[in-house]
Structure 1
Amino acid sequence: MLRRLGWSPAGLGWSPGKSGGRPNLSHLLRLGPAQGRERGVCSFKGLARRERGGSSAAASLLAIQDRRGRLLPPTGALEPSRSRPGTFALGPSLAWTPWRCPVHDAMGLRLPILLLPLCCVSGLPFYNGFYYSNRPNDRNLGNGYSEGIFNGVKLVVETPEETLFSHRGANVTLPCRYHYEPALASPRPVRIKWWKLSENGVPEQDVLVAVGLRQRTFGDYRGRVRLRQAGAREVSLEIRDLRLEDYGRYRCEVIDGLEDESGLVELELRGVVFPYQHPQGRYKFNFHEAQQACEEQDAVVASFEQLFRAWEEGLDWCNAGWLQDASVQYPITQARHPCGGLGLAPGVRSYGPRHRRLHRYDVFCFTVALRGRVYYLETPEKLTLAEAREACREDGAQIAKVGQLFAAWKFRGLDRCDAGWLADGSARYPVAHPRSNCGTLEPGVRSFGFPDPQSRKYGVYCYRPR
């Protein structure tokens, strides 16, 4: 019929396949950029935006096919309009005009779109959401797939605005719910995706995807996460046995056909920031060595937000150190000559981004609360470093790491005035209640640096996991 009117899909460089069954848009939907993100094809939503911004009264933007793959108008038979040359009458007051989408020249593909103008309508209504249509048999394939009947429905994803705080080893739920405005009478199949956002050079991490009752987890999250669906349209993420590296920002995405909406959840672990130096002295780490040094002490390189929070709590350190974003900074609570001079106000001083391999500094590490116990091992006499390691093993434990000692001091109130060996070969002791015969009058972890491993001047701090 369209060929008789002087217009052919094949003439536009596109030939539909045989779809069979009732007229449908499956061939057109495969070409849409919302699924494959191809360039050069007009999307349905894009066309709606175009029509909304102009003076056209177009309200329908779908062409359909018959059993043989021929393009047909949405309703009725075509008759040439006598009053409007170049258009075809659909009834007493309606007309349609074949229309071509602008496409990328390299593709050589043109998708015919049939526009059905409506009288009394100045453009498509605007919704801060998406458009979709329901099929009679409830087998909806996504936005724009139907028989030309569109309902303005907004998909809303709800996540908490405030940061969630937890601790290592705990179980936590990242809340996420969704709903439609206006509400739908019947449920719709959706796809759920959770992932952890890229931060400070750390790549994005897929966490979980789910369709219906089927769920799949990824990487280090495998076996530790699941989708909580306790209520209607709840898609919260449950994480068990939180690890040090689990803190960060997570995105919850709800995908309904061709459209999606998402929300953000920020998870923080309660922890402590501590400065760390190389055994050979000040400013010996490049960025990659700094990362490894923190990991060896049961910690990670601190972020700026963590360092800033530590500064607000009173951290004062005059040596510059690497942060997670490869910048170099240091916190000052009391201005003084060796630390930028008296003319600068207290704050976090910054050297800005540094070269990750060439430049060398100290590092600020971040660790979180422990599940185990750090304690000072009572021995009849002082020990060498090797004897200290063996003594902890004989006691059913292992020699403690620097990060573990800081966590025990911060979260368990560990207070001991005896210096002891740690796993990195340093000698330190924690003071929760300052006193005159136990160092300075400030709480913290005191350090004797890295003594001779054969020295017998120190005890040992051990760590026994639960």
Structure 2
Amino acid sequence: MPVSAVKDESGTVIVQTAPGKVVTHRGGSITLPCRYHHEAESSDPARIRIKWTKVTDALQFEDVLVALGRQQRVFGAYKGRVELENSGPSDASVIIHNVTLQDYGRYECEVTNDLEDDTGFVNLDLEGVVFPYHPRMGRYKLNYHDAVQMCHQQDAILASHTQLHKAWLEGLDWCNAGWLDDGSVQYPISQPRDQCGRKDTPAGVRNYGYRHKEDERYDAFCFTSNLNGKVYFLKRFKKMNYIEAVKACQRDGSAIAKVGQLYAAWKIQLLDRCEAGWLEDGSIRYPIVNPRARCGGPEPGVRNLGFPDKKFRLYGAYCFRKNQDGVGTQATQALAAGNGALPTNRTQNI
């Protein structure tokens, strides 16, 4: 990974970090590159302090790791997963193991030599999929905090603007506005039309700006990444209601799948099934990779049939079975071997 220098003209410490971003997936390992230079004759290596923090908001930071000489301390959810790379005397890079959805974001590397210091930034991106979400109660029912919780319940996090913009470039078209992780409300339009902000306006990601997090209500755009397990359609002779579907997955050694898990299976494992099934939130959906006439439209995507009465015995079930050995899916193994990015599809909108 090439590095770019950020120099403090008044100081003796120069920090170099990766330009652009580094990319991995949930469950993988990634190095956040950071190197530094200092005047050796005036510096004691044992007095070099390295501090990594995550930028969680405009002026808010979360401690990740602090190192002084041979002493290191790792904080919070990063304990047991983060370590210095230690590839040389001027290496301040850290390795994050078993990357989580919450690890996505911007990190600061700060190197201090007595009274002099310098900083650099690294952006950690994840391969994955963005999907729009609203609960059974209907559209535009979620304030910001509800949206965070809803995405979490569906094995996801609130998407960033960058993730939503990438999804729009890949074909995502959605007419309902949703929260993003920075507190803004946006929606992607690939095919302008009057009911979605006028037909004569250009395609793009429409932005309502930053909204009141407690009082205003919208849908949510969630983001999820690689699965440590497998989503599958449970074959049963008879159709099931919701409770029967939950119990059927449990008897099969699994759990009923969450919406985010089904999207990840569609996007990453290329799950293609033209049969509607229950999911954990009580919705009925099915994933289509190869569109055909009898399976709901000309585009790939996760078809959504809404939230029927949970007593209806009309559907099958999608189950999620977690890997027992902690080893990821074939997509995980392929990425770990350096085989490139996850598979992509033209659109994620249904």
TM-score range, shorter chain: 0.7 to 0.9
Give the deviation of 1:180 after TM superposition: 2.8
Aligned with 2:56: secondary structure?
coil
1:277-313 superposed Cα distances (whole Å, 9 cap, x missing partner): 1202221111111111111001111111111111111
Q: What amino acid does structure 1 have at the position aligned with 2:27?
A: G
Give the deviation of 1:238 after TM superposition: 1.1
Match of 1:237 among 62, 76, 94: 94
Give the deviation of 1:335 after TM superposition: 0.8
1:414 aligns with 2:271: yes
Separation in 1, partners of 2:183, 2:67 = 35
1:311 aligns with 2:192: no
Aligned with 2:307: secondary structure?
coil
Separation in 2, partners of 1:222, 1:343 = 52
Separation in 1, partners of 2:313, 2:176 = 30
Separation in 2, partners of 1:347, 1:162 = 23
1:267 aligns with 2:124: yes
Q: Which runs of 5+ in 1 are unaligned?
A: 1-126, 131-153
Q: What amino acid does structure 1 have at the position aligned with 2:117?
A: D
Aligned to 1:369: 226
Aligned with 2:63: secondary structure?
strand
Aligned to 2:149: 292
Give the deviation of 1:235 after TM superposition: 1.6
- Pairwise CA RMSD: 1.6
Q: TM-score, normalised by structure 2?
A: 0.87
Q: Which runs of 5+ in 2 are unaligned?
A: 1-7, 324-350
> Structure with the greater relative contact order (CA < 8 A, sep ≥ 6): 1 or 2?
2
For the 8 Å contact 1:200–1:324, the answer to whether it is kept is no
For the 8 Å contact 2:130–2:222, the answer to whether it is kept is yes
Aligned to 1:451: 308
1:93-116 superposed Cα distances (whole Å, 9 cap, x missing partner): xxxxxxxxxxxxxxxxxxxxxxxx
Give the deviation of 1:129 after TM superposition: 3.5
Q: Greater strand percent: which structure? A: 2
Separation in 2, partners of 1:185, 1:156 = 14
Separation in 2, partners of 1:258, 1:200 = 25
Q: What amino acid does structure 2 have at the position aligned with 1:169?
A: G
Match of 2:261 among 404, 409, 415: 404
Aligned to 1:128: 9
Give the deviation of 1:453 after TM superposition: 0.4
Aligned to 1:258: 115
Q: TM-score, normalised by structure 1?
A: 0.66
Match of 1:432 among 286, 289, 304: 289
How many pairs were matched up? 315
Aligned with 1:220: secondary structure?
helix
Separation in 1, partners of 2:15, 2:41 = 15
The percentage of counterpart residues that share the same residue type is 54
- Name which one, 1 or 2, has greater alpha-carbon Rg: 1
Aligned to 1:348: 205
Q: What amino acid does structure 1 have at the position aligned with 2:197?
A: G
Match of 1:218 among 75, 85, 88: 75
Decide whether aligned partners of structure 1 residues 193 and 449 sit closer, same or farther in structure 2, where only a CA change above 3 A counts.
same
Separation in 2, partners of 1:260, 1:218 = 22
1:204 aligns with 2:84: no
Give the deviation of 1:184 after TM superposition: 4.7
1:120-178 superposed Cα distances (whole Å, 9 cap, x missing partner): xxxxxxx8142xxxxxxxxxxxxxxxxxxxxxxx3211111021000001111111111
Aligned with 2:294: secondary structure?
coil
Aligned to 1:334: 191
